[in-house]
Amino acid sequence: MPSEIDAGLIKRARRLRRNMTDGERRLWSELREFRRWYGIHVRRQAPVGPYVADFVIHEHKIVIEVDGEHHFTRAGLVRDRRRDEWFAAQGYRTIRLNTGDLSGSFGGCVEEILSHLGLMDSGGNTPTPGLSPRGEEADNRGRLDP
């Protein structure tokens, strides 16, 4: 069965995956572990409607965008606002992280994402990745291994 996603958009997403920025690559190395740690599937450079999101978590309706300097021009800001409005109309929340924050406060960026996912308590703590509440190894859906 053919995909409903435009073939050109799929090609663009594949090209973007191969040519990720250093900040995107670093963030991806962390986000890809979310499946194992929290049972949350994060996709990178994924088509969402007419756009390619840097990262998307469909089950939580969250788009994560990594913004470099070209996003801070007048045209870039207008383009980003249009994208964010489209994502919001589809029920997605957009988290925008700039490359400076990723290099200067990487942990804070990850904590922001965890907070949006509801994985931070009021003290800024997260559940221990990969462990059940009883401290036993759990699979990627939170079930205990037999």
Task: Write out the CATH class of domain 7-116.
Answer: alpha beta
Q: What is the pLDDT along the chain (146 residues), one digit of tens a residue?
A: 345 777 776 776 677 767 778 888 899 999 999 999 999 999 998 999 999 899 999 999 999 999 876 655 787 789 889 999 999 999 999 999 988 888 888 899 999 999 999 987 666 666 655 443 334 444 444 443 44
Residue count of the chain: 146
Q: Provide the residue ranges of all domains of the chain, joining segments of one domain with +.
A: 7-116
Alpha-carbon distance of 92 to 55, in angstroms, equals 12
Q: What is the pTM of this model?
A: 0.74
